[in-house]
Amino acid sequence: MVDLVVSVYAMGLIAYSLLSWMRSPQTDKARAWLGRFYDPVLGKIRAVVKQLRVGNTLLDVAPGVLLLGLMGVKRLVVYLMPRGM
């Protein structure tokens, strides 16, 4: 169950990040809806981890940090679960 929940949340995060590269009324609506689930968490990460400057562009690494954190939490929870569950 933990694997399913974390995987669905991670896939949504990837979709949310990809939608930021596309601009249309439909993608803006989808991104706004997904933002309800991701913006509060990403905002806290962005307060700690600043954007990286690559040439003249700023790269937001917060989604990547969150994705790595999700993978780590999933591994930790699975490791701590009693065997046979």
pLDDT score, position 2:
78
Chunked into runs of 10 residues, the chain (85 residues) has average pLDDT values of: 88 93 90 95 95 90 95 88 72
pLDDT score, position 67:
95
- CA 50 to each of CA 33, 45, 53, 59: distance values in angstroms, whole numbers, following the listed order: 25, 9, 9, 9
pLDDT score, position 23:
86
Contacts of 51 (CB under 8 A, 6+ apart): 58, 59, 60, 61
pLDDT score, position 20:
87
Tens digit of pLDDT for each residue in 18-34?
A: 998 888 999 999 999 99
pTM assigned to the model: 0.82
d(CA 35, CA 29): 10
Matching residue, tokens 């699975």: 78
Q: Hey, what are 4's tokens? A: 């399913």
pLDDT score, position 84:
64
